[in-house]
Amino acid sequence: MLAQDITSLLLNSNLSKDLKNITEKVMANERISFDEGVLLYEKGELGFLGTLANYIREQKNGNNVYFNRNFHIEPTNICVFDCKFCSYSRLLKNKEEGWELTEEQILDKVRSYDGKPVTEVHIVGGVHPKMGLMYFAELIKKIKTIRPDIHVKAFTAVELDYMCRKAKVSYEEGLKILKDHGQNSLPGGGAEIFDETIRKEICEDKCTSAQWLEIHETAHKLGMPSNATMLYGHVEKFEHRIDHMNRLRDLQDKSKGFNTFIPLKFRNGGNQMSHIAESTVIEDLRNYAVSRIYMDNFGHVKAYWPMIGRTTAQLSLAFGVDDIDGTIDDTTQIYTMAGSEEQSPALSTQQLVELIKQVGRTPIERDTLYNVITDYSNYDFTKEEVLSN
Ligand code: V47
Ligand code: SF4
C-alpha cells in the first residue's frame, strides 16, 4: 500500500485527532514522543496499529522475513538469582534439581553440528557461581577451534555483570577478554523492564537497568553488537513499556549497536508469578505493533516463535515483525518450562520457510548481523540432503 493511500485511509476515518497526528508523523518519518507511545497502547485499535506498523516494516525490510540457522547451549540452570518470573532456574540450594553441563558435554554438542549449515550458537543460562569469566572465555576459544566459522552470541548482561564482578574486572576489560577469545555478540536477555520499581518487584537481586545498558553500550563501543528484549504482560503498565523502549531508543541513537528488538511475552507456568494472567494474543499483536512504531532506529523486530507459538509468530508478521528467529532445536528449556505451547521447539528450515510463505512473505536466511545468506523464494528442498537445521 502506498504511503498516500494509507494516510488518506487513516486520516479520513473517524480516528481521534491525537491518533491522526501520530499517523501524520509516522508517514513523514518523524519520531513519536513518549506520550504518543503511551497513547498508542491506550487508544490504538488493532487494525490501526497493524496498518502503521506494517507500513514501517515494509519501508525498512520490504517483503523480507528473516530467520537464521542456530542452536542453543544452556550450560546450566543453576542460578544465584531468584527472578520471580523465571520457571527455569534452580537456586543453588536446590542444586539436585538443576543441570550443569561439563565442558566436554558442551563441546560434544558443538561437534554434533559438524557438517550442518548452522551459522550461530546462542549460549545463555543460569548464573552459576563456579562458571566464571575465564572458564567461559576458554570455552568459547575451544568452540571456535572446533567450528571457526560459527558466530558466538553469548551471555546476557546479567551473566556478564556477575562474571566481571567476580573476576574483579571492569565491563570493558571483561568484554575485551571474551571478544579476544572469540565471542562475537550479545543476546538481548536480562533487560526485563527497566523501570526501577517494577524491576524491584520482579527481579530485585540481579543487575540494575543502568548496568544492563552500560554493558550493552560498552559492548557496542568494542564492536560487539547486541540484541535487546522487553519482558511484558505481567505487572508493568503501558508507560513502563514505553519507558523501557525509550531508554533503548536513546542508547541506540548513541551507539547504533543493537541489531534487533525482541518483545518477550511473560509466560506464567511454574514460576512465582503464576497467579498473573498471561496477555492475550490481541495484546501481543498490539505490543509488536507499538514496538515497531516506537523503535524507529531499530532495523528489526523479532518474534521469538518458541515462546509465542508458530501461529502467533505468523500473525505478528502483519504487525511490524520481520524476523522469526532461528530453526533452533529442542534443547532450549527457558520457555518449555514456563508453559509455552511449543513443548519441543524444533523447526526444520523447510518448515520455517513454509510458515513464512504461507503469509505471503519472502523467506530469507540471514546471519546474525542480517547479511543475506539465502533467499528461499524459489528454493528446491529436494536437492538438500540435510533438512533439519
Ligand atoms: O531475560 C524468563 C525471559 C530471557 C520467562 O537475543 C521469560 O536473540 C517469558 O533473552 N516468560 C532470556 N519470558 C531469553 C532471551 C532471548 C531469547 C531469544 C532470543 C534472544 C536473542 C534472547 O527470557 C530472560 C527473560 O526476560 N524469560 N522467564 C517467562 N516465564
Ligand atoms: Fe537466573 Fe536468568 Fe532465571 Fe533470573 S531469569 S533467575 S538471572 S536464569
- Concatenating the DSSP letter of every residue in 228-294 gives EEEEESSS--HHHHHHHHHHHHHHHHHH--EEEEEEEE---TTSTTTTSPPPPHHHHHHHHHHHHHH
Substitution candidate for ligand 2 out of 88, 229, 335 with most atoms within 8 A of CB: 88
Mean per-residue pLDDT, 221-225: 98
Mean per-residue pLDDT, 202-216: 97
**Tens of pLDDT along 47-81?**
999 999 999 999 999 999 999 999 999 999 999 99
Ligand 1 atom closest to residue 191's alpha carbon, by position in its atom list: 1
Secondary structure of 335-373 as H, E, C letters: CHHHCCCCCCCCCCHHHHHHHHHHCCCEEEEECCCCCEE
Percentage above 70 pLDDT, the chain: 89
> Lowest-pLDDT range, 130-144, 172-186, 370-384?
370-384
User: What local confidence, expressed as pLDDT, does residue 99 receive?
Assistant: 86
Q: What crossing angle do the helices spanning 281-294 and 46-61 adopt, rounded to 10°?
A: 50
Instruction: Please determine, for residue 389, whether its predicted confidence score (pLDDT) is greater than 50.
Output: no
Instruction: Please determine, for residue 288, whether its predicted confidence score (pLDDT) is greater than 50.
Output: yes
Ligand 1 atom closest to residue 227's alpha carbon, by position in its atom list: 6
Mean per-residue pLDDT, 193-206: 97
Ligand 2 atom closest to residue 80's alpha carbon, by position in its atom list: 1
Domains of the chain with CATH codes: 2-61 (no CATH), 65-388 (3.20.20.70)
> Lowest-pLDDT range, 70-84, 176-190, 198-212, 238-252?
70-84
**Tens of pLDDT along 318-347?**
999 999 987 755 455 555 555 566 655 577
Mean per-residue pLDDT, 139-163: 97
Instruction: Please determine, for residue 176, whether its predicted confidence score (pLDDT) is greater than 80.
Output: yes
Determine whether the shortest distance from the Cβ of 231 to ligand 1 is under 6 A: yes
3-state secondary structure of 68: strand
Look over the chain and give the mean of its residue pLDDT values, rounded to a whole number.
91
Determine whether the shortest distance from the Cβ of 227 to ligand 1 is under 6 A: yes
Mean per-residue pLDDT, 88-112: 84
Which is more confident, 114 or 325? Answer: 114
Determine whether the shortest distance from the Cβ of 126 to ligand 2 is under 6 A: yes
Determine whether the shortest distance from the Cβ of 87 to ligand 1 is under 6 A: yes
What is the grid cell recorded at 147? 567450528
User: What local confidence, expressed as pLDDT, does residue 336 receive?
Assistant: 56
Instruction: Please determine, for residue 304, whether its predicted confidence score (pLDDT) is greater than 50.
Output: yes
User: What local confidence, expressed as pLDDT, does residue 118 receive?
Assistant: 92
C-alpha 73 – ligand 1 centre gap (Å): 14
Split at pLDDT 50, 70, 90, the class of 90 is confident
Substitution candidate for ligand 2 out of 72, 74, 80, 83 with most atoms within 8 A of CB: 83
Mean per-residue pLDDT, 93-99: 69
User: What local confidence, expressed as pLDDT, does residue 163 receive?
Assistant: 97
Q: State the ligand closest to the CA atom of 259.
A: 1
**Tens of pLDDT along 247-272?**
999 999 999 999 999 999 999 998 99
> Lowest-pLDDT range, 88-92, 144-148, 178-182?
88-92
User: What local confidence, expressed as pLDDT, does residue 295 receive?
Assistant: 98
> Lowest-pLDDT range, 7-11, 269-273, 364-368?
7-11
Ligand 2 atom closest to residue 192's alpha carbon, by position in its atom list: 5
Burial tier of 16 (Cβ tally within 10 Å: 0-12, 13-18, 19+): exposed
Mean per-residue pLDDT, 113-122: 93
User: What local confidence, expressed as pLDDT, does residue 330 receive?
Assistant: 44
Determine whether the shortest distance from the Cβ of 88 to ligand 2 is under 6 A: yes
Q: How far is 281 from 162, CA to CA, in rounded Å? A: 35
Split at pLDDT 50, 70, 90, the class of 215 is very high
Mean per-residue pLDDT, 184-190: 98
Ligand 1 atom closest to residue 88's alpha carbon, by position in its atom list: 28
User: What local confidence, expressed as pLDDT, does residue 388 receive?
Assistant: 46
What is the grid cell recorded at 271? 514460576
User: What local confidence, expressed as pLDDT, does residue 329 receive?
Assistant: 58
Mean per-residue pLDDT, 87-111: 83
Please give the single-letter amino acid code of residue 355: L
